[in-house]
Every structure is written in C-alpha cells, then in structure tokens.
Amino acid sequence: MTQTLADLPDDVLLLVLASLESARDLRALALSCTRLHQLVRDDGWRVFVRNRFSSLSIPIPPNGSHGWKQMAESLTWQSRCWDKRSLQFQAFLPRSAPSRGPRTRQAPFQPVVDAHLDPETNQELVVWGAGENIVARYRERRGRGEPANITWHRSEGKDLGFTAGYDDVISISILKTRHQAGRAILTGRDNGDLSLLSAEPDRFGERLVHFHPTPEEHLQQDTINSLDVLNTSSKMLISAATKSGVLVYHLPEDDVSEVTPSTTYDLRTDVFDNSAAQLCRATWMGQGDVLALALKGCKDPLRYLSLTPSGWTHHSAAKNMDVERQFDIKYGNICPNSLQPVQPVAGSKGGTSLLLSAWRDGTCRLQDLRTPSPFDAVYQDNVDPWADMEALMTYGAERFVGGGMNGAAIKIFDFRWTKDYYHTSGLPCLDMDPFSRPAQPFLQPPVNTAKGRTRCDHVLGLPCSWHDLSRNIYYRPNASYFLSNALPRKFSSSGIWSFAKPSDFSPNFYIGISGGVIEASLGPSVSGEPSKNTMSDPNFGIKGWRIPGVGAYKRGYESIPLGASMMETGDGYAFQQNDRAIRFPWMWTPRTSMLDAGLFPSLRRHHRLDCRFQAAEDFCPEDVFSDGLHI
C-alpha cells in the first residue's frame, strides 16, 4: 500500500514543519491536501513562529483576526524590512507658539519615552516626559486598510504642583495594573517623586499611588535615575535607582494611595569606594532576584545585586580576559542608560544573566554578569568606532538599536548569532552574487563555493550561488541612519536620550531626541517618494501612520516627515585594527528618480536594499548604460 506524506502521524509531520525555512514553503505544503492544510492551520504556523523567531517575545494571539498565520506574515514581512533597510521616519516636535514680547531661549527638554501595544484591543500607547509635563498619543488600528483612531493627551506638571527643571520627568514606564485602574504610567522625577498615574483617556494624569520611604528609612529617595518593572505571573516589582541605592516596591493589587518600599539596598555602605560614586541605573535580570547596576565615579562600574536568604549582596560583573585580549578593550566608564538584558530564548524560566551595555570607548559589550561565558562579544561601528551610544534597545537576540549624543543618528546592529530565519530563503534561485556589493572596512568578500549552481539542490542540501552568499555577514552589514539634516535647524544638533518599542512584533519604535520624539516605522517604498508611497505591516501597520491625529496641534505638537540618509557600517564586530583611517563608505539618500518599472523586473526584489536605494548599475556592468540610461 503506497504511503504518502499526509499518512505520517502528527508528531512526525510537526518535525517536518519545524524544518521548513520560509513561510512560502509552509503555505505550499498546506495547499497540497486537506489533511496537511488542517495541520498547518491548527499547529503549523505556531510551530513556524516559535522556531524561526524564538528569541522574540511573542504572546499567544488572542481570538480574532490576528492568529498565528497573521503573526507569521507580519514577522517575516518585518524581517525583510530590517534586512533591506526599509525604515521611514517622522518627528513630533513642539509647536512654536506666537509671541508678542521678546523671545526667551529655553533649553530643550530631554525626553524619556515608553510605548506599549495591547494585542487584544490593537491599541498602541506612547508616552514621554516633556520637562515637567507628560504627553501621550493613543493610536488604535481598526482593520486592514482602514485609518486608525488617534487621540492625544497631555498632563501639565503645574497642575500637580511641579515646576520646570527641578521637577522634570527623568524616568517613565507604562504598565497594566491588576485591578480596575487599568493602564497606568509610572513616573520618576528629578526631585525624587515616584508616582503611578492613570493612563486611561478619561482620567489621564490622575495620581493613583505615591511611592515613598518612611521617615525612619535610612535610604532617602532623591533623584529617580531609573525605573524598571518586573512583571511575573505572581507579582509586579518596581526597582527605583537613586544616586545612593535601590528601592524595591511591590505594585499594589488593591486601591491604596501610599506605598512604602518592600526592601532597600544602600550602596554607600559597601560598594562606593569614594564620595564621588553614584548609582545611575538598576535593571531586573532574573525573576526578582538579580538586579544589574550601572555606576559612575568608581572602579568596576558594572555590578549586580543578588538576593540570598540573608538579603541582598553585591558583586562586580565577571570579566572575560580572553575577550579583553581579543578586542583590546579596557573596563573604563559605562553609559548608564544603556543596560539591556538579552534573552537568547524568549520565555526562559529564571530570567537571564546576559547583559548588553554601551561603554565610553564606543563599544557595546554582551556579557554574562556571573561568569565569563562563551557568549561574550564586543560590537562597534566600524566606520565611527569612537561614537558613544547613550541608549540601546534590543529585539530579542535578533538585533539591537543604539544612539548617542553625536547628533540624531541611530545605529542598527545584528547580534551575529546564528539566525533562524532569512527572508532570502523565500526568493527564487540565482546564479550570481548578491547586489550591490557593500563597502566593508575589514571583511574580505566570501568565497562562492556554489559558483555555477543555478538552483538549490534540496536533496543534497546544497544552495545556489545567490542563496549561499546572501546569508553571509559580508552581504548583511550593519547600518546607520542620519536624521540631523532633515530636522529643523534648531533641532539639528539634538542627541538621542532614549528608545522605546511597543512590543517585539510591532513594526515601529520611538526615539527620544533633545526637544522631541521621532517615530521610526518599517515599510518598503514602492516609488522614490517614501513619504507618499510606503507599504505598511499587513496586520499591525497603520494606514496613513504619518497623520498626527486629533489633538496633536492642540497639545502643542506638529508632525514633520523626515528623509534619512543611510550608511552601511560593516559587520559590527570590534577590531583591534579599528583605530586607523578607512575609506568612507557610500552615503545612501532616498532617490526621487527611480528605475523605470520595465528595467530588471525579475531582479528588483533580489536587491539587498530598499527600492529607494537602488540604481540601474547595481544589476549589471556600467558599460551597458553607455546609451544614456545610466541613473
């Protein structure tokens, strides 16, 4: 009796589905017969997402239009946009109010920003501290192809008795409470005030809870340098870092207006070795038992606290001497706001001890706090190796984004770990190298072991030339986006203070710059005018996302589209030889005069970069264009 693939038991078929590299292959298998169609619908897309995007934090899709199939569609679409550098930008800047008297020059605020996406309601909330005030934008996606419902709110600090400067918001976090209060905003101010405010539109800015130590507490609550919230199935813990210690609060599950710390740790007693030392940031690493610390003015600026039966104990982070020799790094000063825990596998029990941090020598270091593990790596911009990154934001173990005080420029790094998904796997085979060739400061072009192989041999597991090389890090360089020249003149020197993303599966993120906020959104261009012809995520994207929405002007903000310039900056690993002058790579700018639609239609989607960065000479030798077709 002839056996077919569909006759195999489900547990064997799921192993087959887990080995498929692209959504195209999974869809083709689902169309082959009724049984496989049902298996793919019920379990296949879930297996694909969990295996190909294992480091991203993906919740179980709620009942409705967004199931595992839609999640796979969006994640593969976003991965392609990241790889092809398909990013668009717009800025939210304070609107200049007309003045009849003499103008007074005010220093721009330094915004801290946070964002949150509710997958059940499809509503996104972004908030930022604008001096002593708090600004929020609500954006709810109504459906594919339909305009979003957008509203703005603003909480005036003066209404709560705060003044500019001394009472500025310097740390902020969105959270969802476990009682009828709903969404809330946790704010820490320069004066030491720590409060939970309502984030519901009808009660926006209303104080719900005030967190403060008792007069008997030895540790005083001065400037709140950072906030971090740990949300587990059983508790929500808040760590508030002041200059001299850490205060840990339990978020109340009932209606109370005053909360005192559940535990404190005064670092002055046994950590600080001189009076100039200060604690700048505390970040949760484990399930409430480990806190990573960033300090300044002392030896060993990266440390951690661990909870033992006898209480909190402090340790210096482990140092890997092999990494020090390999990358020629010194343990100098850390960029305090850059601490980012990295979870190699999403949802791992016990948290993680891997931490990504930025340092004043221009490096970003991934290290195990407790042991000098083999995961340690050092990343650096190979073109501008000395640029500090004040803030970092991670997407699982896929990539991270950095920025600093050297203008409004963001740097996108690949972690360079083994990737589970490549968007190129779903494209047809080619007998050629990927185009166009990037400018790599240190790497040599890889050897094409599949030269002459026009198609992949799936039986022997041998890729074609194009699929073989397109996965190599030489053809997947990191990139930087430069936004300063696109900003109005008075914001052109703005540095980057913070990052925030609504979720790991959101197609957009936010950048806090001096005096305003920039929204970055994934989306390929379909013509040379990216601001007018941009596709959006099919399931989580917003049609007309550049529209500021109702209330923006009234709340004192205007939306400005930004045209960014992009530069590819090498493989991203730190090199000892990265102290010498190198040839400056090409700066890509959006092209308004694009390729004719009839030129190279079968190759356009194989190009490494977005449509607006493509030129005709990328596809074949320049002598072909001697008749004047050269762009």
Give the residue among 561, 507, 492, 558 at the shortest CA–CA distance from 530: 561
- For the whole model, what pTM was predicted? 0.93
Cα radius of gyration (the chain): 25
| Per-residue pLDDT, 100 | 42
**Could you tell me the domains of the chain?**
5-84 (1.20.1280), 108-418+478-524+535-554+563-567 (2.130.10.10)
- Do 497 and 337 form a contact (C-beta atoms < 8 A)? yes
- Residue 457, judged by CB atoms within 10 A of its CB (0-12, 13-18, 19+), counts as exposed
| Per-residue pLDDT, 587 | 86
Task: Find out whether the peptide bond into 436 is cis, omega within 30 degrees of 0.
Answer: yes
Count other Cβ atoms within 10 Å, centred on residue 396. 19
| Per-residue pLDDT, 422 | 95
Average pLDDT over all residues of the chain: 86
Q: What is the mean pLDDT of residues 264-285?
A: 80
What are the pLDDT digits (tens) for 167-177? 999 999 999 88
| Per-residue pLDDT, 631 | 30
| Per-residue pLDDT, 102 | 43
| Per-residue pLDDT, 585 | 83
| Per-residue pLDDT, 627 | 41
| Per-residue pLDDT, 104 | 43
- Residue 352, judged by CB atoms within 10 A of its CB (0-12, 13-18, 19+), counts as middle
| Per-residue pLDDT, 592 | 52
Locate 479 and state its tokens.
């990139």
CA–CA distance, 352 with 73 (Å, rounded to integer): 29
**pLDDT over 70 at 597, yes or no:** no
Q: Greater confidence, 325 or 76?
A: 76
Locate 528 and state its tokens.
């040379």
| Per-residue pLDDT, 181 | 67
| Per-residue pLDDT, 41 | 92
CA–CA distance, 176 with 55 (Å, rounded to integer): 23
CA–CA distance, 110 with 186 (Å, rounded to integer): 17
Three-state SS string over 331-368 comes to CCCECHHHCEECCCCCCCCCCCCEEEEEECCCEEEEEE
Give the residue among 346, 347, 368, 366 at the shortest CA–CA distance from 358: 366
| Per-residue pLDDT, 533 | 61
CA–CA distance, 473 with 444 (Å, rounded to integer): 11
CA–CA distance, 218 with 246 (Å, rounded to integer): 12
Count CA within 13 A, CB hemisphere, residue 368.
11
Place of tokens 């085979």: 429
Least-confidence region, from 213-217, 242-246, 620-624: 620-624
Q: Greater confidence, 65 or 77?
A: 77
> Collapsing DSSP states into helix, strand and coil, what is residue 563?
coil
**pLDDT over 90 at 216, yes or no:** no
Q: Letter for the amino acid at 495?
A: G
Q: What is the mean pLDDT of residues 104-123?
A: 82
Q: Which residues contact 236 (CB under 8 A, 6 or more apart)?
A: 175, 178, 229, 230, 250, 251
CA atoms 482, 483, 489, 495: torsion sign? negative
- Sheet with 516-522, strands from edge to edge, namely 496-500, 508-513, 516-522, 87-94, 557-562
Proportion of the chain above pLDDT 70, given as a percent: 90
Locate 197 and state its tokens.
């405010």
CA–CA distance, 60 with 44 (Å, rounded to integer): 14
Q: Greater confidence, 330 or 92?
A: 92
CA–CA distance, 137 with 128 (Å, rounded to integer): 9
| Per-residue pLDDT, 626 | 40
What are the pLDDT digits (tens) for 481-517? 999 999 999 898 899 999 999 999 999 999 999 999 9
- Sheet with 236-241, strands from edge to edge, namely 226-231, 236-241, 245-250, 263-266
**pLDDT over 80 at 275, yes or no:** no
**pLDDT over 50 at 105, yes or no:** no
Least-confidence region, from 89-103, 133-147, 246-260, 331-345: 89-103
**pLDDT over 60 at 101, yes or no:** no
| Per-residue pLDDT, 155 | 94
| Per-residue pLDDT, 576 | 72
Q: What is the mean pLDDT of residues 99-113?
A: 64
**pLDDT over 90 at 106, yes or no:** no
Length of the chain: 631
**pLDDT over 60 at 529, yes or no:** no
Q: Letter for the amino acid at 123?
A: Q
CA atoms 157, 160, 161, 165: torsion sign? negative
> Collapsing DSSP states into helix, strand and coil, what is residue 391?
strand
Count other Cβ atoms within 10 Å, centred on residue 440. 19
CA–CA distance, 109 with 146 (Å, rounded to integer): 35
What are the pLDDT digits (tens) for 16-66? 999 999 999 999 999 999 999 999 999 999 999 999 999 999 988 876 667
| Most confident segment among 103-112, 336-345, 567-576 | 336-345
Count CA within 13 A, CB hemisphere, residue 291.
33
Give the residue among 563, 612, 385 at the shortest CA–CA distance from 478: 385
Give one DSSP letter per residue of 205-269, joined into a string: T-EEEEE---TT-SS------EEEEEE-SS-EEEEEE-SSEEEEEEPPSS--SEE--SEEEETTT
| Per-residue pLDDT, 520 | 96
| Per-residue pLDDT, 103 | 44
- Do 399 and 413 form a contact (C-beta atoms < 8 A)? yes
